[in-house]
Amino acid sequence: MLIQLVMLSSARIFAVITLILIVGSAPWSYAQDRPSGKSFATRSEVLARNGMVATNHPLATQIGIEILKKGGSAVDAAIAANAFLGLADPGMNGIGGDLFAIVWDANDKKLYGLNASGKSAMGMTIDHLKAAKAEGQSILTGPLSVTTPGCVDGWAELHDRFGKLEFAQLLAPTIQYAKEGVPITQEPATWFKGMEASVQSENNPTFKQLYLTNGKFPRKGEIFKNPDLANTLQIISDKGRDGFYKGEVAERITRHIQKGGGYLSKKDLANHSSKWVEPVSVNYRGYDVWEIPPNGQGISALQILQILEGFDMASMGFGSAEHIHHFVEAKKLAYEDLAKYYGDPDFGAVPVTELLSDSYAARRRALIDSEKVGEYHPGLTSGDHTIYLTTADSQGNMVSFIQSISYFFGSMEVPEGLGFTLQNRGGSGFVLDEGHISVYEPGKRPFHTIIPAFITKDGNPLVSFGVMGGDMQPQGHVQIVLNLIDFGMNLQEAGDAPRIRHSGSSLQGGHQTGAGTTYLESGFAYDTISKLMDKGHSIGMTKGIYGGYQAIMLRNDVYYGASESRKDGHASGY
């Protein structure tokens, strides 16, 4: 290096030394030399006037845009994109799962919330589950873990209220792709390979027949066809929601589950219905942040924001030890309530108003010591597998949309000839502890991790967004809000900035002591890590746990789109 410096002009020597000092003192992910001047943005926001779609798969985004160009609504585009993702990213989502959505209706100038989650089997009791567990049977996956899939009914409810195109037009692109085949992209290929060995030992012939060839999942770039799914979607296209919840499809689902020892019945499917709900919000520094109320975990993001509003987060600066410490401590406090209170409100009181009140936030905030970690503990730590997408149309309507089959490939149960996996929400969302709000009961909606989000300003739509990924979701929502409002990032940079994920918390129905582990994505300075350790944080580093973000912002009649750099997709507009 010294020899090279001697050969340079004095001006170049200064430039090289300056570069060395910058690289040596700052996280590698900073990039102030980019034209935008944005430290973390991997790319520019997408700007368009007539419509926008952001998903985790390029072809899903493309399908959504095509639907908008044909005159479809934001809801039409969301349904079409979601249908495709069930084909191309089947471990994460599909018609065997549930969905939630927040819709901004430009005509009513109002947000609508849809809870399209299914209930547990009426014929199964907690005694059945306890006996199965005592005998060593799996209740986390397999037939006993399956709840009624709510996705297709959710599509129907959204389309009936906000759709413009014929329903058949929305499913047609995926039906064609399912017949002709779609190349597998990087992210699902990575997940496939990671679970391949464990699948080999499973006695699950219909699952293996659908997804494996010679004992292997498809690799990146290999073509995956699913004619069974094409046929099922065609039935739904022709007959609507009844094509799924009644007739041949319902018969095959229940026959498969009951043959394996489960209890889901044709009556459970036929009686299913979604719920329109009022989204709930808190005001954070002049911005209203909205979530779907329980049985999901969305209000925990609002609780965290209520606590953090009492601190000057902006002056702490993004990535400082103070920023991370206060975020983690607020998260832990909110997740204690999540573990205790969140569940199906039809089966127990959920004190939403009190949990989101200023007075309660002040009491919880007072428990935070700015100099050291507290040993109080929060919520759920699950490896949830989900897709999130958001759409917007030329009329100003916007959709925040999330859909999942819970664990990767859900229950691992594939009814013969249907081409999709059923979710395991019963296994992942209920507890067996009597008296808890999420204790298993027949005909009950399980606790849900999947949550869409929305931000409004002065009664007008601003940002439709979400961050997929189990208990990362509320943590991710809060970090996006902080990045946008406190730290002044643009929509893309807010998602690209390195993230924090705290884990090791109490599960529903249980309690765990200790400080847990604070995982930090690459990009935080070592000085920050050292200070956090001095405060008592246990710091961890790993990959693939920091969620997946998509967002659309409406500003001055222009849509801004942003997409997760950690996923395969992108935002696109026209």
Q: pLDDT for 108-143, tens place per residue?
A: 999 999 999 999 999 999 999 999 999 999 999 999
Same domain, 251 and 325: no
- Among 7-21, 60-74, 483-497, name the one with the lowest average pLDDT: 7-21
Dist. CA 354–CA 546, nearest whole Å: 30
Tokens of residue 543, six digits? 């990959």
Look at residues 249, 231, 224, 222 and name the one whose alpha carbon lies nearest to residue 175. Answer: 231
Measured from the Cβ of residue 16, the count of other Cβ atoms closer than 10 Å reads: 14
Q: Is the pLDDT of residue 291 over 60?
A: yes
Residues 195, 326 share a domain: no
Q: Which pLDDT does position 202 carry in this prediction?
A: 79
The number of angstroms, rounded, from the C-alpha of 301 to the middle of its chain's C-alpha atoms is 13
SS3 572: strand
What average pLDDT does range 324-351 have in this prediction? 92
Tell me what pLDDT residue 375 has: 67
263 located within any domain: yes
Count structural domains, the chain: 2
- Average pLDDT, stretch 139-150? 96
Structural domain contains residue 472? yes
* DSSP, res 543: S
Do 362 and 473 fall within a single domain? yes
Average pLDDT of span 277-290? 98
471 domain-assigned? yes
Does 488 lie in the same domain as 339? Answer: yes
281 lies in some domain = yes
Is residue 64 within 8 Å of 53, Cβ to Cβ?
yes
Asked if 80 contacts 63 with a C-beta cutoff of 8 angstroms, the reply is yes
216 with 320, same domain? no
Does 37 fall in a domain?
no
Strands 182-183 and 223-224 turn out to be: antiparallel
3-state secondary structure 479-542: HHHHHHHHCCCCHHHHHHCCCEEEECCCCCCCCCCCCCEEEECCCCCHHHHHHHHHCCCCEECC
103 residue type, one letter: V
Segment 30-53, tens digit of pLDDT: 444 556 667 798 999 999 999 999
State yes or no: pLDDT of 149 exceeds 70.
yes
Rounded to whole angstroms, the Cα distance separating 419 from 182 reads 15
Determine the pLDDT at residue 515. 80
For 478-495, letters b (16+ CB in 10 Å) and e give bbbbbbbbbbebbbbbbb
Q: Does the residue 72 lie in any domain?
A: yes
Which pTM was predicted?
0.92
- Give the CA count within 13 Å in the CB-facing half-sphere of 31: 13
CA 65, distance to chain mean position in Å, is 21
Going by C-alpha positions, the residue among 475, 229, 545 that lies closest to residue 332 is: 475
Structural domain range at position 223: 57-95+111-275+402-429
Please state, rounded to an integer, the average pLDDT across all residues of the chain. Answer: 90
Q: Are residues 314 and 410 in the same domain?
A: no
Catalytic residue (one of 61, 185, 232, 386): 386
Residues 202, 405, 263: CA angle, nearest 5 degrees:
70
Q: pLDDT band at residue 13, thresholds of 50, 70 and 90?
A: very low
Mean pLDDT across 198-217: 90
Whether residues 315 and 407 fall in one domain: no
Asked if pLDDT for residue 18 goes beyond 50, the answer is: no
Nearest CA to 307 out of 355, 352, 379, 365 is that of 365
CATH number where 333 lies: 3.60.20.40
> Are 413 and 508 contained in the same domain?
no
CB neighbour burial string for 95-115, b if at least 16 within 10 angstroms, e if fewer: bbbbbbbbbbbbeeeebbbbb
Task: Give the angle subtended at the CA of 288 by the CAs of 287 and 292, to the nearest 5°.
Answer: 150
213 classed as catalytic: no
CB 281 within 8 Å of CB 265:
no
192/235 same-domain check:
yes
Residue with tokens 């066809």: 225
Instruction: Give the Cα separation of 453 and 473 in Å (integer).
Output: 10
CA distance 499 to 319: 9
Question: Rounded to whole angstroms, what are the CA distances from 251 to 78, 88, 147, 237, 258?
Answer: 28, 25, 15, 18, 11
Reference 158, options 27, 306, 301, 275; nearest CA is 275
* Angle between helix 472-481 and 321-341 (nearest 10): 140
Mean pLDDT computed over 222-226: 98
Token duo for residue 168: 């058949």
Q: Per mean pLDDT, which range of 21-25, 294-298, 505-509 is the poorest?
A: 21-25
How close are the terminal C-alpha atoms of the chain, in Å?
50
pLDDT for position 171: 98
Q: Is the pLDDT of residue 495 over 90?
A: yes
Which amino acid makes up residue 60?
A
- Asked if the model's pLDDT at residue 9 lies above 50, the reply is no
Question: Can you give the pLDDT at residue 510?
Answer: 54
The per-residue pLDDT for range 164-202, each reduced to its tens digit, is: 999 999 999 999 999 999 999 999 999 999 888 888 777
In a domain, 567, yes or no: yes
DSSP code for 292: P
Q: What is the mean pLDDT of residues 432-457?
A: 94
Residue 471 has pLDDT above 90, yes or no: no
Which residue is associated with the tokens 């952001």?
54
Structural domain includes residue 51: no
Q: Do residue 378 and residue 420 come from a single domain?
A: no
Measuring CA to CA, how many Å separate 2 from each of 11, 22, 140, 357, 430?
15, 18, 61, 62, 65
- Mean pLDDT comparison of 21-25, 68-72, 340-344, highest-scoring range: 68-72
| pLDDT for position 201 | 73
212 and 162 within one domain: yes
The span from the CA of 73 to the CA of 312, in Å, is 40
Give just the sign of the alpha carbon dihedral 298, 449, 121, 511.
Answer: negative
Please check whether residues 213 and 359 belong to one and the same domain: no
Query: In Å, what is the CA distance from 568 to each residue of 63, 285, 372, 470, 548?
Result: 15, 33, 38, 19, 10
CB-CB contact of 51 with 396 (8 Å) = no
Q: What is the 8-class DSSP label of residue 51?
A: -
- What strands, in cross-sheet order, belong to the sheet with 398-404? 275-277, 110-116, 98-105, 398-404, 386-392, 52-54, 571-573
